[in-house]
Amino acid sequence: MVSDDGSQMTEDPPPDQRRRFNSSERVALYLAADGQCTECGQPLEPGWHGDHVRPYSVGGATDVTNGQALCPTCNLSKGDRFVELRVWQEEALRRFLKNNDDFLAVATPGAGKTTFALVAAEKLMDRHEIEKIIVVVPTSHLRKQWAEAANRLNIKLDRSFSNGQTVYASDFDGVAVTYATIAAQPLLWQRMVSRKRTLVVFDEIHHAGEDANLSWGAALKQAFDGAARRILLSGTPFRSDGRPIPFVSYDDQRKCVPSYNYDYGTALRDRTVVRPIAFPALDGNVRWRDAGAIISTDLADTDEKTLTNALRSALDHEGKWIGSVLRRADEELSLLRQEVPDAGGLVVAADQYKARQYAALLDAITGEKTTVAISDDPDASDHITRFGKGTSKWIVAVQMVSEGVDIKRLAVGVYASRTKTEMFFRQVVGRFVRMRSPEDETTATLFIPSIQPLLKYAQDIERTVEAVLAEQAKAARELRGDGTQTTLQLDLVQPIDSSEALHHSTVYGGQSYSEDELIRAKNVAEAVGAPPTMTPAQMASAIRMVTGGKLLTTATATIPAQPSAEPEQDLTAQKTDVRRVIKRLVAQLSRITDTPHGLIHHQLIQQFEGPIATATLESLNKRVDVLERQLRNARGR
């Protein structure tokens, strides 16, 4: 390449072929960082490092979108450790690093709370704000799970520490211990955090507010009031009906106030974190003797006086009800394993005796040995690990698998516990909704007794699933790039984070638009594929015109399609989306009508003369219409 003066010039290789940022890119990184290290905030001195956010060694491009300006100390301490965070994790991490307040992250099971906390710990260690880490967990098995996850980030946690040791080896970065261990000797832990700047991570912090564990709260306060930083994690928004839990903030209704909240509905919309779940509620007649009298009732007809005895009778392993539920659940699991060969099932039992009896029933039903994980068994943690990595069908537990344990292949469950709190129910649900990959199209199933309040809990979750499914069905059918008008339901409400910025409004076309309205308009512009030249203020003006000048939180608007050189998705991607919707609609129809999945698919094949694998996009969309019509008819509306 020759310059204007005739001298020879060399051209930079493409970003994916060179390791170092060029001069113009370094200028851009410096300006973007406002002349300060992105990690520690110190002024950048000559010789600062242009760093790859995603390391070059794992495929990160040498591009300003993947770059950041770091001081040499921060860059060299970072190494090649890299975890690709989800959007919510990045947002929560930024919020956490802004100040030194206690941080409560409430995120749906499977969202990645452990990863968020460990990356936060890594950042604090790199910035020399902490020296040690203490992770407090509900069960011994979770000590092992946290230690293994931390090791992947080169954070070494001692998972076998006991109070009798008083100190842990210096080559550990910290320890993973149970709440019970802390409660036994809080003064020991108070001394530990006073000697080193320590981050304390409380996993499933709501356990400290349960009636049986109220002493834990006082012990935690005594032990960790002097910690340098504290992260509190929970999979379920919770109330404090007893003593307040240390380090948690509450509203006027005694409900916790999260520093960051990532709920099930939001995760379901993201389509990469959790899957939908269905709840077959099973009725049946039960009988018991009380003061010499024989009482008989259906589960669905129970009230506060009869519920406890009715449920005890239904869960009796010698009765017919639980045996028939286990057979039905195994049939559902067997059908699913035709598509997902290693799919697994979990039975949550009321106590250890029943857990063993249910396992014996499943042994007879399946012809294979059922895994049992109960706290009395010293090898229970190993049993859970082997089941998670294996391909066997069923595991039975009481509470050891109800929370925190990550077994992604779980897809079918039986709720055979007598616990009727919403928190515990949602914890159990969380075992089944974790997606294995973005291509995971299965719908989980949890069989429950047809009693209140379990039905109400299930209905609340199901309403979320149905609403999101309806959105996905509609989005999958939208025509793209054909020059026609598109009617969209625009959700203009977005969560607004506290910000240091003091921007109040923007004036455009003689009207004033608030910051909130401009953010909503920007999101709408992205949703409808508006051209990049259209500013948020212009979109806000258009929305006001469409809605008659009303500042609505939700509006239905008809927006002309924007001309584009190519559709937003290629045909393969569009078909994949619609097939995913079809599978989820079939799962819902199967649950409501008690019709096997296979039969519904067979009827569709006959109606449209071919399987979905070879169907056209038009044919797939027609199948969605048919399934939605059948669902409306099945619901009587």
pLDDT, position 470? 67
Residue 348, domain CATH: 3.40.50.300
pLDDT, position 124? 94
Determine, yes or no, domain membership for 501.
no
565 vs 500: CA distance, rounded Å: 40
Residue 440 and residue 513 share a domain: no
> Per mean pLDDT, which of 420-424, 568-572, 584-588 is the most reliable?
420-424
| Contact by Cβ (8 Å): 564, 532 | no
Confidence category of residue 501, pLDDT binned at 50, 70, 90: very low
Residue 152 in this model has a pLDDT that exceeds 60: yes
Mean pLDDT of 596-622: 84
Confidence category of residue 110, pLDDT binned at 50, 70, 90: confident
Determine, yes or no, domain membership for 238.
yes
pLDDT, position 418? 93
The residue that leads in pLDDT, 627 or 525, is: 627
28 vs 23: CA distance, rounded Å: 9
Contacts 24+ apart (CB under 8 A), 513-517: 513/537, 513/540, 513/541, 517/551
Residue 109, domain CATH: 3.40.50.10810
Q: Around 294, how many Cα atoms within 13 Å sit in the side-chain half-sphere?
A: 3
392 vs 89: CA distance, rounded Å: 33
The residue that leads in pLDDT, 40 or 226, is: 226
Of 203, 237, 262, which residue constitutes the final position of a domain?
Answer: 262
Determine, yes or no, domain membership for 552.
yes
Tokens of 334: 């067997």
Averaged pLDDT score across all residues of the chain: 79
Residue 50, domain CATH: 3.40.1800.10
Range of the domain at 596: 571-635
Residue 358 in this model has a pLDDT that exceeds 80: yes
The residue that leads in pLDDT, 502 or 284, is: 284
The residue that leads in pLDDT, 500 or 11, is: 11
Residue 601 and residue 576 share a domain: yes
Residue 375 and residue 453 share a domain: yes
Determine, yes or no, domain membership for 453.
yes
Determine, yes or no, domain membership for 2.
no
Tokens of 371: 């895994």
pLDDT, tens digit (0-9, with 9 covering 90-100), for 327-346: 999 998 998 888 789 999 99
pLDDT, position 17? 61
Determine, yes or no, domain membership for 336.
yes
> Which stretches does DSSP call E strand in 193-322?
198-202, 229-234, 260-262, 277-278, 281-282, 285-290, 293-298
Determine, yes or no, domain membership for 221.
yes
| Contact by Cβ (8 Å): 73, 40 | yes
pLDDT, position 576? 77
Q: What is the pTM of this model?
A: 0.61
pLDDT, tens digit (0-9, with 9 covering 90-100), for 451-474: 999 988 888 887 776 666 666 666
Mean pLDDT of 339-363: 94
pLDDT, position 434? 86
pLDDT, position 510? 33
pLDDT, tens digit (0-9, with 9 covering 90-100), for 281-322: 888 898 888 777 888 888 989 998 899 989 999 999 988 999
Number of domains composing the chain: 5
Tokens of 602: 């067979």
pLDDT, position 260? 93
Residue 245 and residue 307 share a domain: no
The pairing of strands 67-70 and 285-290 is unpaired
Determine, yes or no, domain membership for 236.
yes
Task: Count Cβ atoms below 10 Å from residue 313 Cβ, excluding itself.
Answer: 22
Residue 454 and residue 401 share a domain: yes
Mean pLDDT of 347-376: 95
Residue 585 in this model has a pLDDT that exceeds 50: yes
pLDDT, position 296? 87
219 vs 214: CA distance, rounded Å: 9
Phi-psi region of 12 (alpha: psi -120 to 50; beta: other; left: phi over 0): beta
Residue 109 and residue 34 share a domain: no
For the CA atoms of 517, 523, 527, 532, the dihedral, rounded to the nearest 10 degrees, stands at 100
pLDDT, position 108? 87
Mean pLDDT of 480-486: 39
**From the DSSP assignment, how many helices (H) and strands (E) are in the chain?**
20, 22
Residue 595 and residue 531 share a domain: no
Which residue from 105, 109, 112, 389 is spatially nearest to 275, judged by alpha carbons? 109
Of 78, 100, 132, which residue constitutes the final position of a domain?
Answer: 78
Residue 429 and residue 284 share a domain: yes
67 vs 542: CA distance, rounded Å: 36
C-alpha distances in angstroms, 62 versus 15, 232, 624? 5, 36, 44
Of 55, 78, 101, which residue constitutes the final position of a domain?
Answer: 78
pLDDT, tens digit (0-9, with 9 covering 90-100), for 59-98: 678 888 888 888 877 776 665 555 778 889 999 999 999 9
Mean pLDDT of 337-363: 93
Residue 21 and residue 48 share a domain: yes
Residue 250 and residue 312 share a domain: no
Residue 522 and residue 461 share a domain: no
Q: Which of 168-172, 206-210, 415-419, 428-432 has the lowest mean pLDDT?
A: 206-210
574 vs 165: CA distance, rounded Å: 59
Percent of the chain past pLDDT 70, that is, above it, reads: 76
For the CA atoms of 266, 440, 407, 118, the dihedral, rounded to the nearest 10 degrees, stands at -50
Residue 290 and residue 255 share a domain: no
Confidence category of residue 560, pLDDT binned at 50, 70, 90: very low
Residue 619 in this model has a pLDDT that exceeds 70: yes
